[in-house]
């Protein structure tokens, strides 16, 4: 599959993740809502670094801030951090086993939740406690789903993952 054909997939996956991030959940489950935009961000940073990097990540984060009603720059900063970490770790990530990849993604998502939570505590009326890290619990599941989903669409491109 040609590289340029990735772009619709990238846009579509981000839109879907945005929708899933603001769709109403039952109140009891809301704490466990996975940070899907962050996971999608990690995925494309590693998979298509020529399209999704630090700058684009920042703009996508800004868009998410507007949609989510958070302080302008909160998720932009979070996505920038994710993109930077991914780009630094990129070459090692490709050659590490699947289990290590999942641990890396999990830690990155937990870090993202902590940073954005702290920022919303400082700059807005948010509250951050360790319970918010429940949102990272389902990260490995979402990650595996995402890999399986896009592996199918790009079965011939085995250069990554």
Partner 1 sequence: MRSSNKYLISIKFTACVILSFLFMSIDKNDGHLEGIRETIGVVVFPLYSLIDVPYRAYKTTVFKLRTQIDILEENDALRAENIALTLDASRYLSIKHENERLQKIIQAPSVIDQKILVANVLQIESSHASKKIVVNKGRSHGVYRGQPVVDSAGVVGQVSHASAFYSTVVLITDAIHALPIVINRNGLRSVVTGSRKNDVLSLDFISLSDDIRVGDSVVTSGMGGVFPSGYPVGSIVSVESRPGDDFQRALVKPASKLGRFHEVLLIELESSRDKGESQEEENNSNAIGTAG
Stretches 93-101, 123-131, 142-150, 152-160: which one binds partner 1 (CB under 8 A)? 123-131
| Site size toward partner 1, by CB under 8 A | 45
Shortest separation between residue 35's beta carbon and partner 1, angstroms = 11
- Taking the C-alpha atoms of 86, 105, 154 and 4 in order, what is their torsion angle to the nearest 10 degrees? -30
Q: Is 53 in the site for partner 1 (CB under 8 A)?
A: yes
With contact defined as beta carbons under 8 Å apart, do 40 and 19 qualify? no
With contact defined as beta carbons under 8 Å apart, do 83 and 54 qualify? yes
Q: Is 134 in the site for partner 1 (CB under 8 A)?
A: no
Shortest separation between residue 122's beta carbon and partner 1, angstroms = 8
Q: Residue 43: is it exposed, middle or buried by C-beta count within 10 angstroms (0-12/13-18/19+)?
A: buried
- When the beta carbons of 4 and 125 are compared against partner 1, the nearer one is 125
Contact mark string toward partner 1, 59..78, x via CB under 8 A: ---xx--xxxxxxxxx-xx-
**Two structure tokens written together for 78:** 């979070």
Q: How far apart are CA 81 and CA 90, in angstroms?
A: 14
| 3-state class (DSSP) for residue 26 | coil
Binder among 9, 84, 106, 111 for partner 1 (CB under 8 A): 84
**Two structure tokens written together for 134:** 């429940």
Q: Is 24 in the site for partner 1 (CB under 8 A)?
A: yes
Q: Using CB under 8 A, list all residues that contact partner 1.
A: 15, 18-19, 21-25, 30, 33, 53-55, 57-58, 62-63, 66-74, 76-77, 80-81, 83-84, 87-88, 117, 119-121, 123-128, 132
């Amino acid at each position: 599959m040609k590289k340029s054909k990735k772009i619709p997939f990238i846009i579509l996956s981000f839109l879907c993740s945005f929708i899933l991030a603001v769709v109403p959940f039952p109140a009891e489950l809301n704490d466990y809502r996975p940070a899907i935009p962050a996971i999608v961000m990690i995925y494309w940073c590693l998979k298509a670094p020529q399209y999704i990097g630090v700058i684009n990540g920042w703009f996508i984060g800004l868009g998410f801030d507007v949609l989510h009603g958070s302080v302008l720059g909160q998720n932009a900063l979070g996505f920038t951090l994710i993109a930077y970490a991914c780009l630094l770790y990129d070459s090692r990530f490709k050659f590490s086993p699947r289990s290590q990849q999942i641990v890396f993604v999990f830690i990155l998502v937990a870090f993202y939740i902590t940073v954005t939570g702290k920022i919303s505590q400082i700059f807005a009326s948010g509250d951050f406690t360790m319970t918010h890290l429940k949102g990272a619990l389902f990260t490995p599941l979402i990650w595996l789903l995402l890999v399986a989903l896009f592996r199918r669409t790009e079965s011939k491109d085995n250069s990554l993952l």
